Amino acid sequence: MSAVCFDRVRLALGTRTVLDDVSFAIADTEFVGVLGPNGAGKTTIMRAILGLLAPRAGHIAVLGQPARRGNPALGYMPQARRERGLHLRGWDFVAAAGTAAWGLPWRGKAERAAVDRALDLVDATALARRPLAALSGGERQRLLLAQALLGEPKLLLLDEPLISLDPHRQAEVVALVRDVQRRLGIAVLFSAHEVNPLLGAMDRVLYLGAGQVALGPVAEVITGPVLSRLYDTPIEVLELRGRLFVMSGTQDMERTPHPHAQGGHGNGREVQHARL
Protein backbone atom coordinates (compact mmCIF):
# COMPACT_ATOMS: atom_id res chain seq x y z
CA MET A 1 0.00 0.00 0.00
CA SER A 2 1.24 3.49 -0.84
CA ALA A 3 1.42 6.14 1.87
CA VAL A 4 0.48 8.79 -0.70
CA CYS A 5 -0.75 8.49 -4.27
CA PHE A 6 -1.48 11.46 -6.54
CA ASP A 7 -3.34 10.58 -9.77
CA ARG A 8 -3.41 13.40 -12.34
CA VAL A 9 -3.91 15.98 -9.59
CA ARG A 10 -4.33 19.70 -10.13
CA LEU A 11 -3.98 21.96 -7.08
CA ALA A 12 -4.78 25.66 -7.15
CA LEU A 13 -4.87 28.59 -4.75
CA GLY A 14 -7.51 30.98 -6.00
CA THR A 15 -6.80 31.56 -9.68
CA ARG A 16 -3.17 30.38 -9.45
CA THR A 17 -2.45 26.79 -10.43
CA VAL A 18 0.25 25.44 -8.12
CA LEU A 19 0.53 21.88 -9.47
CA ASP A 20 -0.95 20.69 -12.75
CA ASP A 21 -1.70 17.09 -13.81
CA VAL A 22 0.69 15.62 -11.25
CA SER A 23 1.00 11.88 -10.63
CA PHE A 24 3.34 10.12 -8.18
CA ALA A 25 3.31 7.49 -5.43
CA ILE A 26 5.24 7.25 -2.16
CA ALA A 27 5.71 3.92 -0.39
CA ASP A 28 4.50 3.39 3.17
CA THR A 29 8.01 3.18 4.66
CA GLU A 30 9.83 5.84 2.63
CA PHE A 31 11.65 8.98 3.78
CA VAL A 32 11.05 11.49 1.00
CA GLY A 33 12.50 14.98 0.90
CA VAL A 34 10.14 17.57 -0.61
CA LEU A 35 12.22 20.26 -2.31
CA GLY A 36 11.88 23.18 -4.66
CA PRO A 37 12.00 26.97 -4.75
CA ASN A 38 9.81 29.19 -2.59
CA GLY A 39 6.25 29.14 -3.89
CA ALA A 40 6.65 25.85 -5.77
CA GLY A 41 3.95 24.12 -3.71
CA LYS A 42 5.67 22.24 -0.87
CA THR A 43 3.17 23.40 1.76
CA THR A 44 0.29 23.11 -0.71
CA ILE A 45 1.01 19.41 -1.28
CA MET A 46 0.99 18.77 2.47
CA ARG A 47 -2.29 20.65 2.92
CA ALA A 48 -3.83 18.53 0.17
CA ILE A 49 -2.64 15.30 1.81
CA LEU A 50 -4.15 16.51 5.09
CA GLY A 51 -7.47 17.06 3.34
CA LEU A 52 -7.32 20.82 3.89
CA LEU A 53 -7.19 21.62 0.18
CA ALA A 54 -9.35 19.72 -2.30
CA PRO A 55 -7.84 19.08 -5.74
CA ARG A 56 -9.42 20.87 -8.69
CA ALA A 57 -8.89 17.69 -10.70
CA GLY A 58 -7.60 14.17 -10.11
CA HIS A 59 -7.54 12.01 -7.00
CA ILE A 60 -5.40 11.88 -3.85
CA ALA A 61 -5.19 8.67 -1.82
CA VAL A 62 -3.58 8.60 1.63
CA LEU A 63 -2.81 5.18 3.12
CA GLY A 64 -5.27 3.62 0.71
CA GLN A 65 -8.16 5.99 1.43
CA PRO A 66 -9.26 9.33 -0.07
CA ALA A 67 -7.53 12.29 1.56
CA ARG A 68 -9.68 13.73 4.35
CA ARG A 69 -9.52 16.18 7.22
CA GLY A 70 -8.72 14.86 10.66
CA ASN A 71 -7.11 11.61 9.55
CA PRO A 72 -5.66 10.17 12.80
CA ALA A 73 -3.05 8.21 10.85
CA LEU A 74 -1.25 11.45 9.95
CA GLY A 75 1.18 13.43 12.06
CA TYR A 76 1.88 17.02 11.02
CA MET A 77 4.41 19.68 11.96
CA PRO A 78 3.31 22.95 10.28
CA GLN A 79 5.73 25.55 8.99
CA ALA A 80 4.00 28.51 10.62
CA ARG A 81 4.17 28.14 14.39
CA ARG A 82 3.13 30.85 16.81
CA GLU A 83 5.18 31.30 19.95
CA ARG A 84 2.48 30.37 22.43
CA GLY A 85 2.61 28.63 25.75
CA LEU A 86 6.24 29.55 26.51
CA HIS A 87 5.43 29.19 30.21
CA LEU A 88 4.52 25.52 29.76
CA ARG A 89 6.80 22.65 30.70
CA GLY A 90 7.91 20.45 27.85
CA TRP A 91 5.53 17.66 28.92
CA ASP A 92 2.52 19.98 29.02
CA PHE A 93 3.48 21.53 25.69
CA VAL A 94 3.42 18.13 23.98
CA ALA A 95 0.22 17.10 25.78
CA ALA A 96 -1.49 20.32 24.67
CA ALA A 97 -1.40 19.09 21.07
CA GLY A 98 -3.88 16.38 22.05
CA THR A 99 -6.46 18.74 23.56
CA ALA A 100 -8.88 21.28 22.21
CA ALA A 101 -7.88 23.85 24.86
CA TRP A 102 -4.27 25.06 24.85
CA GLY A 103 -2.42 24.35 28.07
CA LEU A 104 -4.83 21.77 29.48
CA PRO A 105 -2.89 18.49 29.35
CA TRP A 106 -4.49 15.08 28.97
CA ARG A 107 -5.47 13.52 32.28
CA GLY A 108 -6.19 9.87 31.45
CA LYS A 109 -3.60 7.16 32.07
CA ALA A 110 -3.49 6.08 28.43
CA GLU A 111 -3.13 9.66 27.21
CA ARG A 112 -0.32 10.39 29.66
CA ALA A 113 1.46 7.23 28.53
CA ALA A 114 1.12 8.41 24.91
CA VAL A 115 2.84 11.71 25.77
CA ASP A 116 5.63 9.89 27.61
CA ARG A 117 6.09 7.58 24.61
CA ALA A 118 6.30 10.49 22.16
CA LEU A 119 8.89 12.25 24.33
CA ASP A 120 10.93 9.07 24.58
CA LEU A 121 10.82 8.55 20.80
CA VAL A 122 12.50 11.91 20.20
CA ASP A 123 14.90 11.57 23.15
CA ALA A 124 13.26 14.51 24.94
CA THR A 125 12.36 12.98 28.29
CA ALA A 126 14.88 15.30 29.96
CA LEU A 127 12.98 18.28 28.53
CA ALA A 128 9.67 17.27 30.11
CA ARG A 129 10.07 19.43 33.24
CA ARG A 130 11.78 22.42 31.64
CA PRO A 131 9.77 25.48 30.50
CA LEU A 132 9.55 26.03 26.78
CA ALA A 133 11.02 29.53 27.15
CA ALA A 134 14.27 28.01 28.46
CA LEU A 135 14.78 25.66 25.52
CA SER A 136 16.91 26.11 22.42
CA GLY A 137 15.48 26.03 18.91
CA GLY A 138 16.65 22.46 18.41
CA GLU A 139 15.09 21.36 21.71
CA ARG A 140 11.78 22.97 20.77
CA GLN A 141 11.88 21.14 17.46
CA ARG A 142 12.15 17.86 19.37
CA LEU A 143 9.00 18.72 21.30
CA LEU A 144 7.17 19.76 18.13
CA LEU A 145 8.13 16.43 16.58
CA ALA A 146 6.84 14.68 19.71
CA GLN A 147 3.52 16.49 19.24
CA ALA A 148 3.32 15.20 15.67
CA LEU A 149 3.97 11.65 16.91
CA LEU A 150 1.00 11.59 19.28
CA GLY A 151 -1.49 9.00 18.15
CA GLU A 152 1.15 6.77 16.52
CA PRO A 153 0.80 8.10 12.94
CA LYS A 154 1.65 6.03 9.87
CA LEU A 155 2.61 9.08 7.82
CA LEU A 156 4.56 12.06 9.15
CA LEU A 157 4.39 15.41 7.34
CA LEU A 158 7.10 17.89 8.35
CA ASP A 159 6.84 21.32 6.75
CA GLU A 160 10.18 23.16 6.86
CA PRO A 161 11.30 21.95 10.33
CA LEU A 162 14.85 23.21 9.70
CA ILE A 163 13.95 26.90 9.46
CA SER A 164 16.07 29.12 11.73
CA LEU A 165 18.30 26.25 12.87
CA ASP A 166 22.08 26.34 12.44
CA PRO A 167 23.70 23.56 10.35
CA HIS A 168 24.60 21.50 13.43
CA ARG A 169 21.02 21.57 14.75
CA GLN A 170 19.68 20.86 11.28
CA ALA A 171 21.79 17.73 11.09
CA GLU A 172 20.51 16.64 14.52
CA VAL A 173 16.87 17.08 13.51
CA VAL A 174 17.30 15.19 10.23
CA ALA A 175 19.11 12.31 11.98
CA LEU A 176 16.42 12.19 14.66
CA VAL A 177 13.58 12.05 12.14
CA ARG A 178 15.36 9.36 10.14
CA ASP A 179 15.89 7.29 13.29
CA VAL A 180 12.23 7.62 14.34
CA GLN A 181 11.05 6.77 10.83
CA ARG A 182 13.12 3.60 10.71
CA ARG A 183 12.18 2.47 14.21
CA LEU A 184 8.45 2.94 13.62
CA GLY A 185 8.45 1.77 10.00
CA ILE A 186 6.43 4.77 8.81
CA ALA A 187 6.54 7.15 5.86
CA VAL A 188 7.93 10.69 6.13
CA LEU A 189 7.54 13.69 3.85
CA PHE A 190 10.13 16.26 4.95
CA SER A 191 10.10 19.61 3.15
CA ALA A 192 13.16 21.85 3.07
CA HIS A 193 14.53 24.85 1.21
CA GLU A 194 17.61 22.98 0.02
CA VAL A 195 18.75 19.43 -0.51
CA ASN A 196 22.03 19.42 1.42
CA PRO A 197 20.74 18.88 4.99
CA LEU A 198 18.77 15.85 3.76
CA LEU A 199 21.53 14.17 1.76
CA GLY A 200 22.18 10.71 3.15
CA ALA A 201 18.81 10.54 4.92
CA MET A 202 16.34 10.47 2.03
CA ASP A 203 15.21 7.37 0.20
CA ARG A 204 13.97 9.58 -2.62
CA VAL A 205 13.42 13.25 -3.39
CA LEU A 206 10.22 14.89 -4.62
CA TYR A 207 11.34 18.01 -6.46
CA LEU A 208 8.74 20.68 -7.33
CA GLY A 209 8.96 23.44 -9.88
CA ALA A 210 6.79 25.36 -12.34
CA GLY A 211 3.68 23.32 -11.58
CA GLN A 212 5.35 19.94 -12.08
CA VAL A 213 7.23 17.34 -10.00
CA ALA A 214 10.01 14.81 -10.36
CA LEU A 215 10.31 11.90 -7.91
CA GLY A 216 13.26 9.55 -7.67
CA PRO A 217 16.72 9.01 -6.17
CA VAL A 218 18.75 12.19 -5.57
CA ALA A 219 21.35 11.20 -8.17
CA GLU A 220 18.63 10.85 -10.83
CA VAL A 221 16.42 13.84 -9.99
CA ILE A 222 18.82 16.61 -8.97
CA THR A 223 20.65 16.78 -12.27
CA GLY A 224 20.93 19.52 -14.86
CA PRO A 225 18.96 17.68 -17.59
CA VAL A 226 16.07 16.62 -15.32
CA LEU A 227 15.65 20.01 -13.61
CA SER A 228 16.05 21.86 -16.90
CA ARG A 229 13.07 19.87 -18.23
CA LEU A 230 11.16 20.42 -15.00
CA TYR A 231 11.69 24.20 -15.02
CA ASP A 232 11.71 24.60 -18.82
CA THR A 233 14.84 26.71 -18.46
CA PRO A 234 18.58 25.87 -18.40
CA ILE A 235 19.60 24.58 -14.96
CA GLU A 236 23.04 23.57 -13.75
CA VAL A 237 23.68 21.39 -10.71
CA LEU A 238 27.04 22.07 -9.10
CA GLU A 239 28.78 19.91 -6.51
CA LEU A 240 31.26 21.58 -4.19
CA ARG A 241 32.78 19.89 -1.16
CA GLY A 242 29.94 17.40 -0.92
CA ARG A 243 27.19 20.02 -1.30
CA LEU A 244 24.80 20.45 -4.24
CA PHE A 245 23.76 23.80 -5.70
CA VAL A 246 20.88 24.16 -8.18
CA MET A 247 21.68 27.17 -10.34
CA SER A 248 20.09 29.09 -13.20
CA GLY A 249 22.80 31.50 -14.22
CA THR A 250 23.77 33.13 -10.93
CA GLN A 251 20.43 32.41 -9.24
CA ASP A 252 20.13 29.69 -6.59
CA MET A 253 16.88 28.00 -7.57
CA GLU A 254 16.25 26.44 -4.17
CA ARG A 255 16.19 29.83 -2.45
CA THR A 256 14.33 31.99 -4.99
CA PRO A 257 10.89 31.61 -6.63
CA HIS A 258 11.03 30.56 -10.26
CA PRO A 259 9.22 32.87 -12.72
CA HIS A 260 8.37 30.33 -15.45
CA ALA A 261 4.95 28.70 -15.59
CA GLN A 262 5.59 25.70 -17.81
CA GLY A 263 7.27 22.41 -16.95
CA GLY A 264 8.93 19.78 -19.11
CA HIS A 265 8.46 16.12 -19.91
CA GLY A 266 10.01 13.30 -17.91
CA ASN A 267 12.76 11.04 -19.14
CA GLY A 268 10.77 7.78 -18.84
CA ARG A 269 13.30 6.13 -16.48
CA GLU A 270 12.93 5.50 -12.75
CA VAL A 271 12.27 9.17 -12.11
CA GLN A 272 8.51 9.82 -11.97
CA HIS A 273 7.32 13.02 -13.69
CA ALA A 274 3.94 14.63 -13.93
CA ARG A 275 2.16 14.10 -17.23
CA LEU A 276 1.68 17.18 -19.39
176 close to 158: Cβ distance less than 8 angstroms: no
Task: Say whether both 69 and 98 belong to one domain.
Answer: no
CA distance 96 to 147: 8
Between 268 and 9, residue with greater pLDDT: 9
Residue 145 in this model has a pLDDT that exceeds 90: yes
Task: Say if residue 142 is in the same domain as residue 229.
Answer: no
> Does residue 252 share a domain with residue 188?
yes
Residue 78 lies in a domain: no
d(C-alpha 81, C-alpha 43), whole Å: 14
Check which CATH number belongs to the domain holding 50 and give it. 3.40.50.300
Residues 247 and 178 in one domain: yes
Among 96, 128, 147, which residue terminates a domain?
147
pLDDT tens-digit map of 179-208: 999 999 999 999 998 899 999 899 999 999
Order of strands, sheet of 243-248, starting from the edge strand that comes earlier in the sequence = 236-240, 243-248, 251-252
Residue 79 lies in a domain: no
226: alpha, beta or left? (left if phi > 0; alpha if psi -120 to 50): alpha
* Chain segment 91-129, per-residue pLDDT in tens: 988 888 876 433 445 567 888 889 999 999 999 999 999
- Tell me, yes or no, whether 164 and 253 share the same domain: yes
- Which of 129, 147, 165 delimits the end of a domain? 147
Q: What percent of the chain has pLDDT over 70?
A: 84
**Under 8 Å between Cβ of 165 and 173:** yes
Residue 101: inside a domain, yes or no? yes
User: Is residue 37 pLDDT above 50, yes or no?
Assistant: yes
Inside any domain, residue 237: yes
Q: What is the mean pLDDT of the chain?
A: 85
Specify whether 95 is located in the same domain as 189: no
Given a cut of 70, whether residue 64 has pLDDT beyond it is yes
Examine residue 96 and state whether it is found in any structural domain, yes or no: yes
Same domain, 9 and 119: no
With cut-offs at 50, 70 and 90, classify the pLDDT of residue 88.
confident
191 and 120 in a single domain? The answer is no
* Integer Cα distance of 89 and 126 in angstroms: 11
* Residue 5 clears pLDDT 90, i.e. is over it: yes
Q: Are residues 267 and 137 in the same domain?
A: no
Distance, in Å, from the CA atom of 272 to the CA atom of 22, rounded to the nearest integer, reads 10
Residue 269 pLDDT > 60:
no
Say yes or no to pLDDT of 273 above 70: no
- Mean pLDDT confidence for 50-69: 97
Domain boundaries, position 98: 85-147
Listed residue (20, 1, 24, 23) closest to 11, CA to CA: 20
Q: Is residue 13 part of a domain?
A: yes
Same domain, 55 and 106: no
> Does the CA dihedral 190-16-230-48 come out positive or negative?
positive
Looking at 102, 121, 147, the residue that finishes a domain is 147
Q: Is residue 244 part of a domain?
A: yes
Residue 266 predicted with pLDDT over 50: no
SS3 43: helix
Say whether both 141 and 159 belong to one domain.
no
Residues 126 and 193 in one domain: no
Does residue 80 form part of some domain?
A: no
Q: What is the pLDDT of residue 83?
A: 57
What total number of domains does the chain contain? 2
- The reported pLDDT for the residue numbered 209 is 86
